[in-house]
């Protein structure tokens, strides 16, 4: 491979990218960056964009609108960054930019230079005029290695990625021998971000030494965990970094074909990655004879139809082969015999996206973040009861406490923390005593949870842990492929038992069965789905046994969540004589008037929807919820009482 030739070719692409970036800056007109990934669109970013366009043309103001990917601050969506150099202000980030706010921003900031402080989230650069976003824990505790450019560049413009340093990792890689490249990834200590944390370098080496032609790289973007959207964000916000990683991996293992597996429910991600492949091929960064070298890589996109189990690598391969997505016994592992029997590397979106910065900045740089055995960063989508839900990238080894309370703002509504479910539906629920656990592959597994693909659900005091376990088992038993006995039938038994317990019909024998069956399913299942499905049950049994026992022995749900174990009643002391607010809201006419012209609930009719508790005026706050239901005082309905 002629290195000079290669670097010269890339230099000319880079010059073009730089020229375009310079031209943009020199135009000196304001730029409006609008977050237009799926999360932004769901919050109304398309309407916001239209409002900007209309307001700009009404006022006849010249400004450029650039759609960008996700910054990860989902609580603040639609998010807009306005760079208005003429005012002397740095680029400013605005939160919740609705249509009305968009019009106001055009009127006040773009026309008159007043940055409308009440909408400002923060300035993107340190300055003397406006507090910078880096003053917030949410921004400064994050470490963006993989998502550095997400939300800052137009994902549909390859030159913006190149101007930001993109594809120089590939150029550097092509100047190395494949062997050296694998050594580099191995010393970096990069571990797979798809869940199991398998060392990426070792996987690549196994594939590179396999003696067969037509090796294949598959990027796993199936992402089936409910509530997880890290991979989608990367695909939508910076597809080129993934493609660059894919190309480096293919060169290292000697593959000439790559497939990006994306679920069809991610239409924007599919469109973005397809567009990105085309534009990379257009400048010879992908396709045949990349940058004039002998290395060629044909990249295609495969749309999965969204079964959770198809994220499992052998099921994923089956589904590409046109078969039913059922996991296969390993060995043989895909690196020996994968897609169409050929050696196949399956890596997660985040794993491959980590590769370019590692090659570009070196292994020392990468190892500078994270821990000895889990270097680098972890990307989590934090949802549930936190003030600032969204996508965060933090150094491995950060404690759960820092992530939940500092980065994500803690628990809202003055509630207290109860548990955190880590690793998606098959992860574990950890209680407060584990908040100082460092987030890395080994510590989480040791605690009974797992890194998984990075879904995290935070739960406050109002969550019932039995109900939570039931929720996750319900998901996994539905998503079981149905192939093997333990997972297909065993998880259904777990669900039935949990149903019984949350309905107040559980027995002590059920509790015992729950534990032993969970252990057997874990040991006996064929694939990772069954092997991990009982985790929510096992961890909640381990850390919240008292809640199970309260359900079974006392007919009581400590969180007042399980309907069969709770009851509503009206405190006659608090109820205001003559007030009728709750009567009309009850869907089953269970509320009647007592002799003292107060209200009471007929327990036989009540369906426990809780509407009366919602509508009862806060100054009375007379509707109370109790568990066990026997605690509710019963008032007989008098024949004349309505």
Beta strand pairing call for 215-221 and 255-263: parallel
Q: Print the SS3 string covering 432-460.
A: HHHCCCECCHHHHHHCCCCCCCCEEEEEE
Phi-psi domain of 518 (left: phi exceeds 0; alpha: psi -120 through 50; beta: other): alpha
Separation between Cα atoms, residue 176 and residue 292, nearest integer Å = 16
List 40, 78, 169, 195, residue binding ligand FMN (CB under 6 A): 195
CB of 80 to ligand FMN, least distance (A): 31
Buried b (16+ CB within 10 A) or exposed e, 458-475: bbbeebbbbbbbbbbbbb
List 528, 534, 536, 558, residue binding ligand FMN (CB under 6 A): 528
Contact pattern from residue 421 through residue 460 relative to ligand FMN, giving x for each residue in contact according to CB under 6 A and a dash for the rest:
--------------------------------x-------
List 56, 97, 146, 309, residue binding ligand FMN (CB under 6 A): 309
CB-hemisphere CA count at 13 Å for 417?
22
Both tokens assigned to 259 = 């497939």
- Binding to ligand FMN (CB under 6 A): which residues in 203-222? 220, 222
Buried b (16+ CB within 10 A) or exposed e, 58-77: eeeeebeebbbbbbbbbbbb
- Which stretches of the chain bind ligand SF4, using CB under 6 A? 309, 327, 480-484, 487-488, 525-527, 529-530
Q: Does 534 bind ligand FMN (CB under 6 A)?
A: no
CB of 19 to ligand SF4, least distance (A): 52
- State how far Cα 29 lies from the chain centre: 35
Kindly indicate which of the ranges 82-90, 142-150, 195-203, 580-588 contains the residues binding ligand FMN, using the contact rule CB under 6 A. Answer: 195-203
Separation between Cα atoms, residue 368 and residue 355, nearest integer Å = 15
Kindly indicate which of the ranges 271-279, 523-531, 557-565, 582-590 contains the residues binding ligand FMN, using the contact rule CB under 6 A. Answer: 523-531
**Tokens 């039938």 correspond to what residue?**
489
Residue 272 or 348: which CB sits closer to ligand FMN? 348
Residue 155: which of 269, 303, 40, 41 has the closest Cα? 269
Residue 178 binds: one of ligand SF4, other proteins, ligand FMN, none (C-beta under 5 to 8 A by kind): none
DSSP letter (8 states) at residue 487? I
Q: Does 232 bind ligand FMN (CB under 6 A)?
A: no
Residue 356 or 530: which CB sits closer to ligand SF4? 530
| Backbone phi and psi for residue 225, each to the nearest 5 degrees, phi listed first | -60, 130
Residue 402 or 476: which CB sits closer to ligand FMN? 476
Residue 72 or 325: which CB sits closer to other proteins? 325
Q: Where are the beta strands (DSSP E) in 222-362?
A: 255-263, 298-304, 344-348
Separation between Cα atoms, residue 197 and residue 449, nearest integer Å = 13
Kindly indicate which of the ranges 27-35, 84-92, 307-315, 461-469 contains the residues binding ligand FMN, using the contact rule CB under 6 A. Answer: 307-315
Residue 489 binds: one of ligand SF4, other proteins, ligand FMN, none (C-beta under 5 to 8 A by kind): other proteins
Residue 71 or 487: which CB sits closer to ligand SF4? 487
Count of other CB atoms within 10 angstroms of residue 21: 15
Separation between Cα atoms, residue 467 and residue 417, nearest integer Å = 17
CB of 345 to ligand SF4, least distance (A): 22
Residue 633 binds: one of other proteins, ligand FMN, ligand SF4, none (C-beta under 5 to 8 A by kind): none
Residue 19 or 330: which CB sits closer to ligand FMN? 330
List 217, 465, 521, 529, residue binding ligand FMN (CB under 6 A): 529
Q: Does 348 bind ligand FMN (CB under 6 A)?
A: yes
Helix (H) or strand (E) holding 601: strand 599-601
- Which stretches of the chain bind other proteins, using CB under 8 A? 307, 324, 326, 328-329, 477-486, 488-493, 496, 509, 513, 516-517, 520, 523-526
**Tokens 């292994």 correspond to what residue?**
363
Cα four-point dihedral sign 314, 228, 358, 447: negative
Q: Does 408 bind ligand FMN (CB under 6 A)?
A: no
Q: Does 151 bind ligand FMN (CB under 6 A)?
A: no
Residue 524 or 610: which CB sits closer to ligand SF4? 524
CB of 331 to other proteins, least distance (A): 8
Separation between Cα atoms, residue 165 and residue 257, nearest integer Å = 25
Count of other CB atoms within 10 angstroms of residue 376: 28
Q: Strand, helix or coil at 41? A: helix
Residue 490 binds: one of other proteins, ligand FMN, ligand SF4, none (C-beta under 5 to 8 A by kind): other proteins
Kindly indicate which of the ranges 150-158, 310-318, 372-380, 571-579 contains the residues binding ligand FMN, using the contact rule CB under 6 A. Answer: 310-318
Residue 224: which of 147, 146, 305, 327 has the closest Cα? 305
CB of 537 to ligand SF4, least distance (A): 15
Residue 224 or 338: which CB sits closer to ligand FMN? 224
Given the rule CB under 6 A, which residues bind ligand FMN? Answer: 192-196, 198, 220, 222-224, 309, 311-313, 346-348, 351, 453, 527-529
């Amino acid at each position: 491979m002629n290195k000079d030739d290669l670097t010269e070719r890339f230099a000319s692409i880079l010059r073009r990218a730089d020229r375009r970036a310079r031209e943009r800056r020199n135009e000196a007109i304001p730029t409006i960056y609008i977050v237009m990934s799926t999360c932004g669109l769901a919050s109304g970013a398309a309407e916001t964009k239209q409002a900007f366009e209309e307001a700009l043309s009404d006022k006849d103001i010249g400004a450029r609108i650039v759609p960008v990917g996700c910054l990860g601050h989902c609580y603040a969506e639609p998010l807009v960054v306005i760079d208005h150099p003429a005012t002397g202000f740095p680029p400013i980030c605005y939160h919740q930019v609705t249509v009305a706010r968009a019009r106001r921003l055009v009127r006040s900031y773009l026309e008159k230079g007043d940055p409308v402080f009440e909408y400002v989230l923060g300035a993107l650069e340190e300055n003397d005029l406006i507090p910078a976003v880096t003053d917030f824990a949410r921004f400064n505790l994050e470490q963006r290695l993989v998502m550095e450019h997400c939300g800052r560049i137009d994902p549909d413009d390859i030159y913006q990625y190149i101007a930001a340093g993109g594809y120089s990792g590939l150029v550097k890689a092509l100047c190395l021998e494949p062997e050296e490249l694998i050594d580099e990834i191995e010393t970096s200590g990069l571990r797979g971000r798809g869940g199991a944390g398998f060392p990426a370098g070792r996987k690549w080496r196994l594939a590179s030494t396999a003696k067969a032609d037509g090796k294949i790289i598959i990027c796993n973007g199936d992402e089936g965990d409910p509530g997880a959207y890290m991979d989608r964000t990367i695909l939508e916000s910076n597809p080129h970094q993934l493609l660059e990683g894919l190309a480096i991996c293919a060169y290292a293992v000697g593959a000439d074909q790559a497939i990006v597996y994306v679920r069809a429910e991610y239409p924007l991600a599919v469109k973005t990655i397809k567009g990105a492949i085309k534009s990379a091929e257009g400048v010879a960064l992908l396709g045949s004879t990349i940058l004039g070298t002998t290395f060629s890589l044909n990249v295609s996109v495969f749309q999965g139809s969204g079964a959770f189990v198809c994220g499992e690598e052998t099921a994923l391969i089956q589904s590409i082969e046109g078969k039913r997505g059922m996991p296969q016994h390993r060995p043989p592992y895909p690196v020996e015999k994968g897609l169409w029997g050929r050696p196949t590397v399956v890596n997660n979106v985040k794993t491959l996206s980590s590769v370019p910065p590692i090659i570009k900045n070196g292994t020392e740089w990468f190892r500078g973040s994270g821990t000895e055995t889990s270097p680098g960063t972890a990307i989590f989508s934090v949802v549930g009861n936190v003030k600032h839900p969204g996508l965060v990238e933090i150094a491995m080894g950060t404690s759960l406490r820092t992530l939940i309370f500092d980065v994500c703002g803690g628990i809202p509504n003055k509630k207290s923390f109860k548990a955190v479910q880590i690793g998606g539906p098959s992860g574990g629920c950890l209680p407060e005593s584990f908040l100082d656990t460092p987030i890395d592959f080994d510590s989480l597994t040791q605690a009974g949870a797992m890194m998984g693909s990075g879904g995290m659900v935070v739960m406050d005091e109002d969550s019932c842990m039995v109900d939570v376990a039931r929720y996750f088992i319900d998901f996994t038993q539905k998503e079981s492929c149905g192939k093997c006995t333990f997972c297909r039938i065993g998880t259904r038994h777990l669900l039935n038992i949990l149903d019984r317990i949350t309905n107040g019909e559980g027995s002590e024998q059920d509790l015992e069965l729950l534990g032993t069956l969970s252990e057997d399913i874990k040991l006996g299942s064929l694939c990772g789905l069954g092997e991990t499905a009982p985790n929510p049950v096992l961890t909640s049994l381990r850390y919240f046994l008292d809640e199970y026992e309260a359900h079974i022995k006392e007919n009581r749900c400590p969180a007042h969540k399980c309907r069969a174990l709770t009851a509503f009643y009206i405190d006659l002391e608090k109820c205001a004589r003559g007030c009728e607010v709750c009567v009309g809201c009850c869907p089953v006419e269970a509320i009647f008037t007592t002799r003292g012209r107060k209200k009471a609930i007929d327990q036989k009719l009540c369906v426990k929807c809780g509407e009366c508790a919602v509508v009862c005026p806060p100054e009375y706050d007379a509707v109370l919820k109790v568990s066990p239901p026997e605690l509710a005082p019963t008032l007989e309905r008098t024949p004349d009482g309505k």
